[in-house]
């Protein structure tokens, strides 16, 4: 496939070029140059008037709760999403597998239409939950990275006594890991230190929620004398989720010991838990990616997430973030945190991309492409979506 005359954001710095050609071979970007000669049997696509951006990466979701949209609108954080007694847990247990699968599929279709080409899901429900999501994804083109978990939650006394991970559950955990991409752990406060360290032994991808709420951070210090982030790092996670109330010391340790942090600003706000301090996270050297979190709370829309993050950071912290840096959080940085060849339009990278209409009513005139994408782009400005070199939503 040969794409001609397209504007594009290229490589790790998302460098804007007003016109270039791009050759795609199989599932990879093979060559990018202002003038590429066509070859016999080339499928040539003229993209005059279009802007090509990397496929968006939704680096933290819970799509299993798609069936519970706005069900718990006026509840507290724990009443909504606590892994033991929250309303979400009850919804998942009391909904048929057929309905759960149907609504997860709907969410995947929604993400594709919004330019999301990869999502990372913290999947509840043990092996059954993982298999259910795999079934939902079986004939869909979107790239789903599934992080499973074992539903083992000792009580506060057991956590203080530092009970080990139960031997009888180890085969179940191993079975889960054979069926998914890694571990997505609910949080340090729901696990003993020995259990957290046991989880670190898996060779697969590891991630954990950390320092999401004031309550969770204070509980860790009160009960165990350690910050929640310090205990989360016992997992040796590849990345952490949220970190809304992490201290500067926590963030410095995170920068040294992980690939980065996935922030979910709309979810934090919906739960009345504030906005992550992006400037402090950047100052301490953390790589940042974006996620939309629970579908029961938010639509899985990275365009809305980017716009919200810029405006709330400006409104609350009086800090103006370069829109390019926010767009990198939704593309380049997601690829780095996942250690995959995605999120970048560059030679040798997987050909995931979104074709935006530069002449769309909300985008024209496009004086600053980064600001236009972060502040004004939406599902309505997307002309087509490509995953792995194939059009999966519309064609040009």
CA distance 111 to 301: 7
How far, CA to CA in Å, does 119 sit from each of 58, 295, 393?
5, 13, 16
Cα-flanking dihedrals φ and ψ of residue 308, to 5°? -60, -45
The answer for residues whose C-beta is within 8 angstroms of residue 123's C-beta and 6 or more apart is 62, 64, 129, 130, 133, 146, 147, 148, 149, 180, 184
| Coil, strand or helix at 375 | helix
Spans of the chain, pLDDT less than 70:
71-90, 92-94
Which letter does DSSP use for residue 118 in this model?
E
Beta-carbon contacts of residue 104 (< 8 Å; ≥ 6 apart): 63, 64, 66, 132, 133, 136
Q: Give the number of other CB atoms < 10 A from CB of residue 357.
A: 18
Residue owning tokens 């995959």: 340
* CA atoms of 53 and 373, how far apart (whole Å): 9
Per-residue pLDDT tens digits for 174-209: 999 999 999 999 999 999 999 999 999 999 999 999
The domain ranges of the chain are 2-54+343-393, 56-338
Give the pair of three-digit tokens for residue 197. Answer: 């360290």
* pLDDT score of 46: 97
Residue 372, pLDDT score = 98
Distance CA 156, CA 158 (A): 5
Contact 232, 208 (CB under 8 A): yes
pLDDT for position 86: 59
Cis peptide, bond prior to residue 86, ω within 30 of zero:
no
Q: What is the pLDDT of residue 79?
A: 54
CB neighbours of 118 closer than 8 A, spacing ≥ 6?
A: 55, 57, 58, 142, 143, 144, 145, 334, 338, 340, 342, 343, 352
DSSP class per residue in 24-78:
EETTEEEEEES-----TT--EEE-TTEEEEEPEEEEEEEGGGGGGTTTTTTS-HH
Phi, psi of 149 (to 5 degrees): -155, 155
The domain defined by 56-338 folds into TIM Barrel (3.20.20)
Domain 2-54+343-393: which CATH number of 2.30.30.40, 3.90.1150.10, 2.30.40.10, 2.40.50.110: 2.30.40.10
Residue 16, number of CB atoms within 10 A of its CB: 15
- Cβ proximity of 124 and 294 under 8 Å: no
CB-count burial class (<10 Å; 0-12, 13-18, 19+) for 110: middle
* Cβ contact 306:331 at 8 Å: no
The stretches of 82-212 forming alpha helices (DSSP H) are 87-94, 97-113, 126-137, 156-160, 170-179, 193-199
**Sign of the torsion formed by the C-alpha atoms of 267, 66, 338 and 146:** positive
* Residue 117 near residue 387 (C-beta atoms within 8 A): yes
Which pLDDT score is estimated for 96? 78
Neighbouring residues of 52: CB distance < 8 A, sequence distance ≥ 6? 3, 6, 7, 8, 9, 22, 345, 353, 354, 355, 356
| pLDDT, tens only, 85-106 | 556 566 766 677 888 899 999 9
């Amino acid at each position: 496939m040969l794409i001609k005359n397209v504007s594009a954001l290229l490589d790790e710095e998302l460098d804007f070029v007003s016109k270039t050609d791009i050759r795609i071979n199989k599932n990879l970007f093979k060559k990018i140059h202002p003038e590429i000669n066509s070859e016999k049997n080339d499928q040539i696509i003229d993209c005059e008037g279009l802007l090509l951006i990397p496929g968006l990466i939704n680096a933290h979701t819970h799509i299993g709760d798609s069936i519970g949209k706005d069900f718990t609108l006026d509840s507290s954080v724990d009443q909504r999403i606590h892994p033991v007694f929250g309303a979400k847990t009850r919804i998942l247990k009391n909904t048929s597998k057929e309905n759960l699968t149907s609504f997860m599929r709907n969410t995947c279709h929604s993400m594709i239409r919004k330019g999301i080409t990869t999502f990372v899901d913290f999947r509840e429900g043990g092996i059954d939950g993982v298999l259910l999501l795999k079934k939902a994804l079986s004939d869909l083109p979107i790239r789903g990275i599934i992080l499973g978990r074992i539903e083992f939650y000792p009580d506060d006394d057991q956590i203080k006594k530092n009970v080990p991970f139960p031997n009888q559950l180890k085969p179940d955990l191993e079975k889960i890991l054979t069926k998914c991409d890694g571990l997505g752990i609910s949080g340090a406060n729901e696990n003993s230190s020995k259990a957290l360290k046991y989880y670190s032994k898996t060779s697969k991808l590891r991630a954990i929620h950390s320092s999401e709420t004031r309550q969770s951070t204070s509980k860790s210090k009160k009960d165990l004398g350690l910050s929640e982030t310090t205990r989360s790092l016992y997992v040796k996670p590849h990345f952490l989720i949220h970190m809304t109330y992490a201290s500067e010391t926590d963030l410095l340790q995170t920068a040294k010991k992980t690939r980065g942090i996935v922030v979910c600003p709309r979810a934090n706000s919906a739960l009345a838990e504030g906005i992550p301090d992006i400037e402090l996270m950047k100052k301490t050297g953390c790589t940042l990616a974006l996620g939309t979190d629970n579908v029961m709370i938010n639509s899985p829309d990275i365009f809305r997430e980017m716009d919200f993050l810029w405006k709330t950071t400006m409104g609350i912290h009086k800090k103006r973030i370069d829109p390019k840096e926010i767009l990198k959080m939704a593309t380049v940085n997601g690829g780095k945190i996942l250690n995959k060849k995605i999120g970048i339009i560059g030679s040798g990278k997987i050909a995931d991309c979104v074709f935006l209409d530069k002449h769309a009513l909300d985008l024209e005139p496009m004086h600053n492409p980064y600001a236009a994408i972060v502040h004004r782009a939406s599902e309505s400005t997307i002309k087509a979506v490509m995953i792995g070199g194939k059009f999966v939503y519309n064609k040009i």
